[in-house]
Amino acid sequence: MRERREHLVGKAAVKGTMVTAHLAWAQDALRTDPAPRLAGRLSPEAAAIVSHAVLATDWVKLKVLCEIDSALAALVGGAPEETLRRMGRHSAEKNLAGVYRNFVEDEPHRFFEKMALLHGRFQNFGSTRYERIADRAGRISVEGYEEYSPVFCASALGYYEGALVMMKVPGPLKVAETTCQCAGDPACWFDLA
């Protein structure tokens, strides 16, 4: 396994819906509000985010999201990458159970194509493309990230797994990151089958 690095300077941002989904997952896992238990584990900037309700439309720095996610993973325990994937799966379940419910259940390729087109509504950095590889396989290419983190990649793996589960795609499911910007590759490729 190649070394994966993090590069976060605080310009890249994501929509608050990611933070709220991850905090809700941790609350379910811990059976209590995680915010008080995170207080000593976070920078003042990240602690301020978890101390109040984050709106789905709020922009949150990627750096802060990754800090919160790392602290949540440590708090919940288990292998960090698997814990982050579980967080991402929950995010898909929470965020795709509403408006996209009928669309998600019927057409996986179409969903991922639209998701790539809507990338800029949920992140202010990089770009995403979806490519249909076969009838039951595709690739999400994420590129142009000036900021990146293995924490974000692990939760993305879980999100894509969760999206496929929400679509009731017959298994077994396989989601793998085959290239990663954190390891020096020009893009992150997430292969779905």
Digit-coded pLDDT (tens) for 128-141: 999 999 988 999 99
Q: What does the DSSP 8-state code read for residue 136?
A: T
The rounded distance, in Å, linking the Cα atoms of 55 and 16 is 6
Digit-coded pLDDT (tens) for 127-184: 999 999 998 899 999 999 999 999 999 999 999 999 898 888 887 889 999 999 999 9
The rounded distance, in Å, linking the Cα atoms of 172 and 193 is 8
Residue 103, pLDDT above cutoff 90? no
Q: Per DSSP, what are the bridge partners of residue 189?
A: 141, 179
Digit-coded pLDDT (tens) for 66-81: 999 999 999 999 999 9
Give the pTM.
0.91
Architecture per CATH, 13-192:
Alpha-Beta Complex (3.90)
Give, in order, the Cα–Cα distances in Å from 114 to each of 3, 41, 58, 118: 32, 37, 22, 6
Which residues, 6+ apart, have CB-to-CB distance to 107 below 8 Å?
167
- Sequence ranges of the domains in the chain: 13-192
